[in-house]
């Protein structure tokens, strides 16, 4: 059963940036945007590039290896279409980031 797990302090994820976290054996990228925090699988479905190191513009992250792009709110690929990263619910409480895995 999924449950929220404390993954880091909110201050560890810079505004407009990301942080790599490990949760229950999963490698995730946590993003901090003006609209809130989001989490998706960190490894790009194309060649495994680390999405936490990608360029984030709004809600779209670009893989640093081959420029595939994903919507961090849903995990859906923007370019090319038809791919998907798992996405996870995130909440921030008491200055801590929690991800539901």
For 38-83, what is each residue's pLDDT tens digit?
A: 999 999 999 999 999 999 999 999 999 999 999 999 999 999 999 9
Instruction: Calculate mean pLDDT across residues 1-8.
Output: 94
- Please state the domain extents for the chain: 4-100
* Dist CA 91 CA 55 (whole Å): 23
Residues 7-25 have pLDDT tens digits of 999 999 999 999 999 999 9
CATH topology for 4-100 is: Rieske Iron-sulfur Protein (2.102.10)
- Report whether 97 contacts 4 (CB < 8 A): no
Tokens of 46: 């194309």
Cα–Cα distance for residue pair 29/63, rounded to 1 Å? 12
Nearest CA among 3, 83, 87, 4 for reference residue 39: 87
Whats the size of the chain, residue-wise? Answer: 101
Residues 6 or more apart whose CB falls under 8 angstroms from that of 66 comprise 44, 46, 47, 49
């Amino acid at each position: 059963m999924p449950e929220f797990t404390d993954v880091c302090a909110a201050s560890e994820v810079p505004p407009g940036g990301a942080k790599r976290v490990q949760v229950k054996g999963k490698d995730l990228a946590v993003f901090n945007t003006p609209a809130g925090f989001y989490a998706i699988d960190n490894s790009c479905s194309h060649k495994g590039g680390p999405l936490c190191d990608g360029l984030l513009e709004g809600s779209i992250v670009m893989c640093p290896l081959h420029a595939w792009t994903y919507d961090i709110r849903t995990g859906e690929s923007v370019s090319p279409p038809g791919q998907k990263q798992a996405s996870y619910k995130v909440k921030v409480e008491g200055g801590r980031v929690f991800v539901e895995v």
